[in-house]
Amino acid sequence: VKDNTATVEEKVTLAELYVAASNWNLATEAYAAIAKDPAASPIQKSNAEEKKAYILAWKGDHADAIKEFDALAKSSTGPKKLEYQLFK
């Protein structure tokens, strides 16, 4: 997402549209941008990182997906930690 005037919510909507259109490359780029956006809340950043990891797995980039799930597992607790560990 290259439009710096878009709100985080607009960026999330755009990322979801990319997913719905099965445009995995643009979806992963969009979620990566949201995760780095200083205006995004911690929950929005966490959700973006999680969705990016799942999309990487869906599109067949398993090595990158495993790295993302490993990072998520290290920074998570409770049921989410277990969920991410199962994907590693």
Q: What is the pLDDT of residue 4?
A: 67
Measured CA to CA, the distance from residue 18 to residue 69 in angstroms comes to 21
Q: What is the pLDDT of residue 81?
A: 76
Q: What is the pLDDT of residue 19?
A: 96
Tell me which residues of the chain have a pLDDT lower than 70. Answer: 1-4, 87-88
Helix axes 78-87, 42-58, angle to 10 degrees: 20
| Each residue's pLDDT tens digit, 50-65 | 999 999 999 999 999 9
Q: What is the pLDDT of residue 88?
A: 62
43 Cβ neighbours under 8 A, 6+ residues apart: none
Torsion over CA: 10, 16, 21, 24 (sign): positive
DSSP per residue, 14-27: HHHHHHHTT-HHHH
Q: What is the pLDDT of residue 2?
A: 58
